[in-house]
Structure formats: structure tokens, C-alpha cells
Amino acid sequence: MTPQPGSRAVGSTPAVAAIEFLQGLRAGLEAGLAPEAAAELAAAALPESVRKPVRGVLARLRGDNHEDEWGFDEELAETAYPVFELLYERWWRVRCTGVGHVPSHGRAMLVANHAGSLLPFDAAMITTALMKEHPLPRWPRFMALDWAFAAPFLGPFIRKVGGVPANHANATRILDADELLMTFPEGAKGSGKRYSERYQVQRFGRGGFVEIALRTGTPIVPVAVIGAEETYPMIADAAPLARLLGAPFAPITPTFPWLGPLGLVPLPSRWRIEFCAPVDLSPYPPEAAEDRRLVLDLSEAVREKVAGAVRENLLERGPAFG
């Protein structure tokens, strides 16, 4: 059953629940429990309103699931939805505008700025905005780098809530199936920015997303996300650790790794998400994807649209906290 627009989750303070869960998880791991058993023990200590969806997610991660060809499990996504809605409403107090620009049916590509450094909460909150605010909610698929799928728990969870390894073939197949695709062309350069570089929208690669949109006849919806840059303020990159983990970076923040698992609790910044008017590519034939100048010009035009919306929403939001 799809969550209805405007529905509300009932629960305790997200920060308290997150801290309690991470404390319980650390205690279980230090006691020698397997990760699955430690997570179940940690979930038992949560308030009832949060415990139920967390346990439901853990159960579906362990059990036989009804996944599609990409690994998406709609029942698991719906089970996790109240937790994300709680974060959306009460922790980050997200303000969403322009959601009506996202088509109710058929293919579309959401192109957003990227941030977060530790966890892809920007993708989670864009998804929650669509499910909560759109008159006809639909689950998007979102592109993620391969290394994100290798982490225990997090990797399978990302896949089951809509994450897909980022490459041209996967993106094309999703759009050919008339799905909604979310992509972050900044890639690791966006999520790995230092705090001093926050909201400086990086180059959108070589315009691969434009090539795919042209070949598949897909409208592009630029998306500006404000707030994710402050959730995990990255002050340094532990490059040797990143190489060991096979990750593009290993962020050091004011709370991580100094507070251990508690450092994974994101800061309660105020968020804004704007879905901008679509970029119509219908005047261009599919073979226009071979025109490198056109592709790069369109890519830069989309980047400028996102960057402009980022600047405007920063002014609208005001202070990040409070």
C-alpha cells in the first residue's frame, strides 16, 4: 500500500531514537554478537513507534523478499517509510516546493546537487518528498556508486529502497521502462566536498546524463537540495582509510569518528527541496546525443539551473539551525 500524501508518522524525537539504536548496536557488537543479532537487540530498546518499522526492515533484510530485477523491495520501502517521514517532518523540517513539476506517469530524470558525505540522506529525502507531497506518489530509482552497495546492512538496504549501480546501461533500462530516475551528476565530488565548499555545485561530469536523456526522450527535472551539506560537515578526508575501504573518501566530521557510532547521527539542519521546471528535450532527436558540444551545453545549462535554485533556497532558508 502506497503511503498517502500528507500522512504523518507518530514517534519520539528522531535524535533520541537514533542515539539509542546506535548505543545498543555498539554494545551488541562489543559483546561479540553478529551484526544481525546486535541490530535486533538494539531495535528492542527503541520506542514502539520507531521499533516496529526498524524491526520490519531488519526482518525483510534477512528474509525472502519480493524484489524486482533491480533488487527494489516495495514492501520494505513502505516499512521504512515512517522512519524517513519522521526525519523529514521533525528532524530536518523539510520545506518542499515545485513537486508538481515531476510527471505523475512515464519516464523522467531528476537531476540534483549532491551532499551528505556519510550517508545518502539527500536521495532519501527527495524520495520522501515525492511520496509525501506529490498528488500521485511514485517510488523513484536512484543512481549510487558501486562502493555503496558493498557495506554490510547499508548496501542491501540501499538496493532494496531503490538504489541502482550508476552506469549508462542501468539508467537507460530504467527510463525505457518509464520509471522515475534520480541521479547526482556531481558524483563523489559532490558528496565528498569539504564544509568550506558547501553549496558550490561541482561540474556535472561529461554530461552522460544528458546523453541518456536524449537517447531515451526523457525530460530532465532539476532539483535543488538545501540542508544535506550540514548533516555531516566534512572537515577532512582520511585518504589512507578511504583507500583501505575502496571508497572515494573517508570523511572526518566534528562528531565522526570521535563519537564512534554516535557520530553517525546527522545534525538537525533545516532543509529545503525545490523541484524546478522540467528541461524539455523533445525538440532534439535521439542522435543529438552524439553532438558533444550540444551535450556539454545542455549539461551546463542544467547545472546552472540547479546552482541558481540552490542559491535562492539558501537565502529563503536562512540559518541552517534553529
- What is the tens place of the pLDDT at every residue in 121-137? 999 999 999 999 999 99
Q: How far is CA 171 from CA 21, 77, 142, 157, 210, in A?
A: 35, 20, 9, 20, 11
Cα separation, 149 vs 197, whole angstroms: 27
**Which residues does residue 108 pair with via DSSP β-bridges, in sequence order?**
180
**Which residues does residue 261 pair with via DSSP β-bridges, in sequence order?**
none
- The answer to whether residues 252 and 235 touch, using CB atoms and an 8 Å cutoff, is yes
CA angle 143, 55, 114 (to 5 degrees): 25
For 204-263, how does the pLDDT look when each residue is reduced to its tens digit (9 = 90+)?
989 999 999 999 999 999 999 999 999 989 888 877 777 776 777 778 888 888 887 778
CATH number of 93-317: 3.40.1130
Q: What proportion of the chain, given as a percentage, has pLDDT over 70?
A: 85
**pTM (2 d.p.):** 0.83
Grid coordinates representing 19 are 542515539
Q: Is the dihedral of CA 308, 312, 317, 319 positive or negative?
A: positive
Instruction: Spell out the domain ranges in the chain.
Output: 93-317
For 24-45, how does the pLDDT look when each residue is reduced to its tens digit (9 = 90+)?
777 777 787 776 677 777 777 6
- Is there a cis peptide before residue 5, judged by omega within 30 degrees of 0? no
The distance of Cα 98 from the centroid of its chain, to the nearest Å, equals 18
> How many Cα atoms are found within 13 Å in the side-chain-facing hemisphere of 139?
21
